[in-house]
């Protein structure tokens, strides 16, 4: 039962639902999702981590970027839920616009020429470093 609850929790947030709908079209890079949603990498990655933890998506590193995809094979409730979503939700304006933005962004091939945002520098502690 926990797996069922986890799937529905993962799909209960708008951005995560939109991400899953986009991933039905194939693998996407974090930079694709950042551009589609016009959101910072930290927010996009937080939602992707939630989806990954739910078991709906997987990831792999491609160069400097992380790429995400729907897990395969998907059985049972997750597979039925995704089939239902593709059939019943894909025609809605929000999802059609997301696909249009995805297509336009991917045609520009921006991810191939940009580096991911740099991680913020860690704050140094006030304690002196021991001599080596």
Gap between the Cα atoms of 131 and 49, Å rounded: 39
pLDDT above 90 covers a percentage of the chain that reads 60
**Which of 4-8, 27-31, 119-123 is predicted most confidently?**
27-31
Q: Which two tokens stand for residue 78?
A: 């997750």
CA dihedral 123, 124, 126, 127 (to 10 degrees): 140
88: exposed, middle or buried (C-beta count within 10 Å: 0-12, 13-18, 19+)? exposed
Tell me the average pLDDT of the chain: 85
How many angstroms separate the CA atoms of 120 and 132, rounded? 27
Q: Is the pTM of this model over 0.85?
A: no
Average pLDDT rounded to a whole number, residues 21-50:
94
Helix (H, G, I), strand (E, B) or coil at 57: strand
Q: Which residues does residue 57 pair with via DSSP β-bridges, in sequence order?
A: 70
Q: Is the pLDDT of residue 115 over 70?
A: no
Query: What domains, with CATH codes, occur in the chain?
Result: 2-108 (1.10.10.10)
Q: What is the mean pLDDT of residues 108-131?
A: 56
List the beta bridge partners of residue 28.
68
Q: What is the pLDDT of residues 41-55, one digit of tens each?
A: 999 999 999 999 998
Q: How confident is residue 36, by pLDDT bands cut at 50, 70 and 90?
A: very high
- The pLDDT tens digits of the residues spanning 68-94 come to 999 987 788 888 899 999 999 999 999
Decide if 41 contacts 30 (C-beta within 8 A): yes
């Amino acid at each position: 039962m926990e797996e069922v609850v986890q799937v529905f929790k993962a799909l209960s947030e708008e951005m995560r639902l939109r991400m899953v709908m986009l991933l039905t079209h194939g693998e996407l890079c974090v930079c694709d999702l950042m551009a589609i949603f016009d959101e910072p990498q930290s927010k996009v990655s937080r939602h992707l981590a939630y989806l990954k933890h739910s078991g709906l998506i997987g990831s792999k590193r491609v160069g400097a970027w992380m790429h995400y995809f729907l897990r395969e094979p998907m059985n049972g409730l997750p597979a039925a839920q995704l089939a239902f979503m593709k059939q019943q939700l894909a025609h809605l304006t929000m999802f059609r616009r997301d696909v249009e933005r995805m297509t336009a962004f991917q045609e520009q091939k921006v991810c191939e020429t940009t580096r991911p945002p740099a991680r913020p520098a860690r704050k140094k502690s006030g304690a002196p470093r021991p001599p080596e």
